[in-house]
């Protein structure tokens, strides 16, 4: 971009040819006395609120031509006359410069009254044609830069307080508010502020060449736009590898991508190319940071070492809820993620993920990445299931967690990415695990049932003892979903009740028995019921953008999704781990209201949704 002096020279040379003609034809100059009188009269009566006449502008141009005439004919002019003429011209330029300032300050944008813009254009052309281009451009740049900066401030994004050195000391929560301000301001900044400034330069410097007009515009907005579009790059540095911050980067990437057609139009000139380069750099760094966080999120799932406790009764893990809600939020960014993930290298196993549907959209980069992360989570759950000593409980753990995953996909926008077949395949797995639970957990009880041919009391007492023991062991076991819970109960009842009823009808009067068939059925019907400390329904969906302003994933109905984040706690170098709830409030069985969540954010910095 040319310097102010160089640009002023280009403007002067391109604005008019009258100066050269006057120099070549000094003998044809009209009498100067009228112009001098006009200038003296205007200067003597001038004040900042006086009106500017076209006669004064013509007289000033004439005086400049006369000055050139005197300078070109030293033999016919005295030094004192030359100095008086030059001094008068400087006084006239001072008034014009003040007029330029006053009129520029009254311009808001290119939609300002045409009379005002026409007057500014006349002043600019006069100053350029009389050799005062540098002074004219300095005034124009200074006032318009201040105007553009002020307009951005009014949009809620202060360039001064958002410079890098001032952002370094901000906590992420405060920076998050700045991100919101930047996103809210960016569309109006590009489509209104910068666009109208470009239009204003076109109107005021219309007598100059296109390249000069473009250079004037670029000289005003380059630094401002450069700082504005550098903000996303700084956010990338602060986001580091934190999964919750991914959505703020996606918001910025999506917003900037949507603005690219407008940016390429407003900053189309060669002079403004550094601004386009800055925007592309911001998009590239946002994309790199997003891909990095997604890889770290995957590794964090794989490295999760929290062991499922038998006391939880096979409930849905907080890890499962966290990951599914995270992916639900992620799926809301289909458009930007398609561009970001297209160049993302796949893990060796990811390329072998089965496409469950022939529809092309299920093979998109976004669908493949979500499918891969679901597979990573499933493998982690299977490895956690192996930690249970009781095989039946490990199957129940898989039933609850995989069913939660499948229903979350089925009842949310995730289904659009994965398809019906994905849900069907995983529901089949759920039922296979459910059958495994019933076989491993109840087969020995069924084997202890007395049969018609066996009357001994010992056999009956053995069954009663085994059944009571199992009932006690199963007291804390749960099936979270109510429909699935009934299915499990029916499977257990069908295994025990018919055979027991057949025996009971033959021998109930011949010996003392503790359980009638209805007792067996009632005891089984009371199993797998979540206690007050359990989680609620797994159903529910929602818009990921609802809570994205808080830089977090979206809790769903039934999810008590408050994570406790201890300030000051740091991972070891090279390590990263997910943080999610390790326990639930027994008094909160349903999704926390948004207002409750916001209030908690305001009241405690330790609570992060």
Q: Return d(Cα 429, Cα 188) in angstroms, integer.
A: 51
Closest by alpha carbon to 63, among 94, 40, 96, 85? 85
Convert the pLDDT of each residue in 222-234 to its tens digit.
999 999 999 999 9
Convert the pLDDT of each residue in 352-386 to its tens digit.
454 444 445 557 889 999 999 999 999 999 999 99
Beta bridge partner(s), residue 275: none
> What is the per-residue pLDDT for 517?
93
What angle do helix axes 246-266 and 172-188 make, rounded to 10 degrees?
30
pLDDT at 8 over 90: no
Compute the mean pLDDT over every residue in the chain, rounded to the nearest whole number.
80
Do the Cβ atoms of 164 and 234 come closer than 8 Å?
yes
Secondary structure (3-state) at 563: strand
Share of the chain above pLDDT 90, in %: 49
Share of the chain above pLDDT 70, in %: 76
Comparing 117-126, 171-180, 255-264, 508-517, which segment has the lowest mean pLDDT? 508-517
> What is the per-residue pLDDT for 77?
58
Convert the pLDDT of each residue in 297-315 to its tens digit.
999 999 988 877 766 889 9
Host H or E run for residue 443: helix 420-447
Do the Cβ atoms of 609 and 321 come closer than 8 Å?
no
Beta bridge partner(s), residue 607: 564
pTM of the model as a whole: 0.78
Do the Cβ atoms of 564 and 579 come closer than 8 Å?
yes
Q: What is the mean pLDDT of residues 332-342?
A: 92
Convert the pLDDT of each residue in 120-133 to its tens digit.
999 999 999 898 99
Question: How far, in Å, are 97, 100, 102, 114, 204 from residue 48 at the CA level?
Answer: 11, 10, 7, 20, 21
Q: What is the mean pLDDT of residues 568-582?
A: 43
Q: Which residues contact 44 (CB under 8 A, 6 or more apart)?
A: none
Closest by alpha carbon to 149, among 262, 259, 225, 252? 225
Band (pLDDT 50/70/90 cuts) for residue 65 is: confident
Q: Report the helix count and the strand count for the chain, using DSSP H and E.
A: 23, 2
> What is the per-residue pLDDT for 384?
93
pLDDT at 514 over 50: yes
Q: Which two tokens stand for residue 507?
A: 């021998």
Q: What is the mean pLDDT of residues 66-72?
A: 81
Convert the pLDDT of each residue in 24-41 to its tens digit.
344 455 567 777 777 777
Band (pLDDT 50/70/90 cuts) for residue 558 is: very low
Q: What is the mean pLDDT of residues 264-283?
A: 96
Q: Which residue stretches of 189-316 are H helix?
A: 195-204, 210-239, 246-266, 273-303
For tokens 């499918």, what's the residue?
A: 371
């Amino acid at each position: 971009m040319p310097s102010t002096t160089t640009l002023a020279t280009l403007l002067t040379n391109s604005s008019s040819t009258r100066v050269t003609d006057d120099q070549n034809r000094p003998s044809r100059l009209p009498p100067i006395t009228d112009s001098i009188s006009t200038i003296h009269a205007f200067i003597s009566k001038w004040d900042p609120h006086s009106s500017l006449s076209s006669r004064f502008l013509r007289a000033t141009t004439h005086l400049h031509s006369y000055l050139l005439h005197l300078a070109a004919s030293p033999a016919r002019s005295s030094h004192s006359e030359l100095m008086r003429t030059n001094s008068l011209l400087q006084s006239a330029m001072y008034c014009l410069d003040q007029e330029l300032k006053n009129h520029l300050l009254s311009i808001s944008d290119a939609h300002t009254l045409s009379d005002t813009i026409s007057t500014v254009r006349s002043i600019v052309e006069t100053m350029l044609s009389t050799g005062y281009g540098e002074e004219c451009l300095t005034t124009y740049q200074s006032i318009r830069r201040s105007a553009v900066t002020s307009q951005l401030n009014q949009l809620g994004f202060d360039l001064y307080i958002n410079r890098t050195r001032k952002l370094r000391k901000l906590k992420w929560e405060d920076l998050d508010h700045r991100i919101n301000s930047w996103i809210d301001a960016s569309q109006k900044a590009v489509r209104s502020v910068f666009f109208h400034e470009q239009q204003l330069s076109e109107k005021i410097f219309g007598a100059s060449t296109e390249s000069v007009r473009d250079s004037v515009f670029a000289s005003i907005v380059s630094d401002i736009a450069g700082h504005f579009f550098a903000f996303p790059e700084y956010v990338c540095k602060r986001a580091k590898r934190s999964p919750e911050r991914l959505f703020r980067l996606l918001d910025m990437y999506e917003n900037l991508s949507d603005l690219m057609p407008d940016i390429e139009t407003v900053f189309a000139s060669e002079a403004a190319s550094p601004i386009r380069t800055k925007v592309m750099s911001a998009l590239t760094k946002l994309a790199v940071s997003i891909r990095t966080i997604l890889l770290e999120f995957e590794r964090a799932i794989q490295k999760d070492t929290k062991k499922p406790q038998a006391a939880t009764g096979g409930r849905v893990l907080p890890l499962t809820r966290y990951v599914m809600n995270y992916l639900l939020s992620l799926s809301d960014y289909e458009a930007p993620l398609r561009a970001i993930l297209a160049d993302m290298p796949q893990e060796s196993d990811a390329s072998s993920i089965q496409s469950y549907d022939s529809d092309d959209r299920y093979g998109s980069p976004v669908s493949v990445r979500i499918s891969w992360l679901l597979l990573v989570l499933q493998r982690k759950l299977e490895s956690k299931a192996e930690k249970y000593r009781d095989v039946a409980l490990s199957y129940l753990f898989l039933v609850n967690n995989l069913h939660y995953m499948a229903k979350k996909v089925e009842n949310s926008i995730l289904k659009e990415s994965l398809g019906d077949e994905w849900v069907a395949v995983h529901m089949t797995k759920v039922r296979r695990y459910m059958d495994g639970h019933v076989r491993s957990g109840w087969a020995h009880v069924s084997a202890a049932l007395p049969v018609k041919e066996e009357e001994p009391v010992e056999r009956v007492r053995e069954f009663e003892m085994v059944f009571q023991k199992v009932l006690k062991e199963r007291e804390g076991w749960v099936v979270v979903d109510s429909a699935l819970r009934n299915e499990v109960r029916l499977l257990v009842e069908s295994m025990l009740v018919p055979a027991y009823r057949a025996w009971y009808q033959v021998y109930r009067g011949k010996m003392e028995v503790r359980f009638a068939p209805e007792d067996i059925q009632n005891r089984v019907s009371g199993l797998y019921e979540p206690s007050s400390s359990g989680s609620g329904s797994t159903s529910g969906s929602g818009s990921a953008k609802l809570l994205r302003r808080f830089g977090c994933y979206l809790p769903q109905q039934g999810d008590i999704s408050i994570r406790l984040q201890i300030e000051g706690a740091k991972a070891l170098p090279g390590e990263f781990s997910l943080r999610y709830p390790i326990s639930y409030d027994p008094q909160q069985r349903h999704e926390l209201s948004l207002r409750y969540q916001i209030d908690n954010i305001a009241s405690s910095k330790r609570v992060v949704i």
